[in-house]
Amino acid sequence: MNTLIILVLLLLGAYFVAVLENWISKGRFQLGAPLFAAVAFLGRESFIPRKPDQLFYEVGPVLLLLSAILAAAVIPLTPDLIITDLATGALFINAALVYVLVALLMAGWGPDGAYSMIGGWRFLGQLIAYAMLIVMPITAVAMRAESLLTTQIVVSQAELWNIVYQPLGFVLFFIASMALAFLPPFDMMIAKGELAGGVESEYSGMRLAIFRLGRLVLIITLAAATVVFYLGGWQGLPGIGLPPWAWSAIKILLVTAAMLLIGRYIPRIREAHLLSWCWIFGIPLALLNIFIVGVLVLEFP
């Protein structure tokens, strides 16, 4: 039953992300816009490139959607609303999201098109930049919780949310999540002005709809992971009597809105800069975060 509820919630969440994205980019709040867009996608003819690698071309978008759903399986929305509370849950999220890279490389290579292929390779470079900044902050979060269970990580923040306990980790994880979801300013692999859509450029109709849905679910999954790791999960603010699911929903939507808004106000980062900044500044800062959290855990258990 939980699986069904979470799948429905993910779809609902993806719908609201689409509404938000449309609102932010076009300046108009249109609740029905994603529905009309979806109908238009399904109604359009699907153009197929001349010489695609059929397997990669077809599997890429589906794998993107599946990897995002897989990562969401270990994210608790309430103490009981979780698909599976794995003992290695926090690391499982990272493992599942690695398939985002595989999906995008397949989607980039499959159509046999220059724009999409370059986009796919760009994401590989992007992974080298952000991957450590996903794992290392999660390590610090798990250190405080003394567990990789995602429910236990939420419980460990009962007195103080991790955004206050380890703000550095939050900033790094938030930035890396945006890079993983290829949101602006980290959208080099689907850059319209450089690659005419990149990985997306050779997809149309139903396939493009699945690709876009996969990306929306990925955004909502990463926002939910941020809430679980740093914003106290389902736990609310004192004095406001909302049910746990409502707190989760509000926080996830706020994080999603922040992720979508930030990219609008800054230009796209360059691939080389992302790599150098992540390795020169990001990884040392992530190590510093682990060290600080280690000291705090020892001093204030």
Residue 281 beta carbon to other proteins: minimum distance, rounded to whole angstroms: 13
Residue 156 beta carbon to other proteins: minimum distance, rounded to whole angstroms: 33
Q: Which is nearer to other proteins, 238 or 267 (CB)?
A: 267
**188 binding other proteins? (CB under 8 A):** yes
Using DSSP's 3-state secondary structure scheme, residue 295 falls into: helix
Number of amino acids touching other proteins (CB under 8 A): 28
Q: Which of residues 252-281 bind other proteins (CB under 8 A)?
A: 263-273
Integer Cα distance of 68 and 97 in angstroms: 7
**124 binding other proteins? (CB under 8 A):** no
Integer Cα distance of 217 and 219 in angstroms: 5
Residue 120 beta carbon to other proteins: minimum distance, rounded to whole angstroms: 11
Integer Cα distance of 174 and 108 in angstroms: 26
Which residue, chain included where needed, has tokens 């980019």? 25
Angle at 188 between CA 41 and CA 230, to 5 degrees: 90
**286 binding other proteins? (CB under 8 A):** no
Please give the span between the terminal C-alpha atoms of the chain, in angstroms, as a whole number: 37
297 and 143 Cβ atoms separated by less than 8 Å: yes
Rg (CA), the chain: 19
Q: Which is nearer to other proteins, 191 or 290 (CB)?
A: 191
Q: In this chain, which of 25, 30, 46, 84 binds other proteins, going by CB under 8 A?
A: 25
Length of the chain counted residue by residue: 301
Residue 263 beta carbon to other proteins: minimum distance, rounded to whole angstroms: 7
Q: Which of residues 128-187 bind other proteins (CB under 8 A)?
A: 184-185, 187
Binding site for other proteins (CB under 8 A): 25, 27, 114-115, 118, 121-122, 184-185, 187-188, 191-196, 263-273
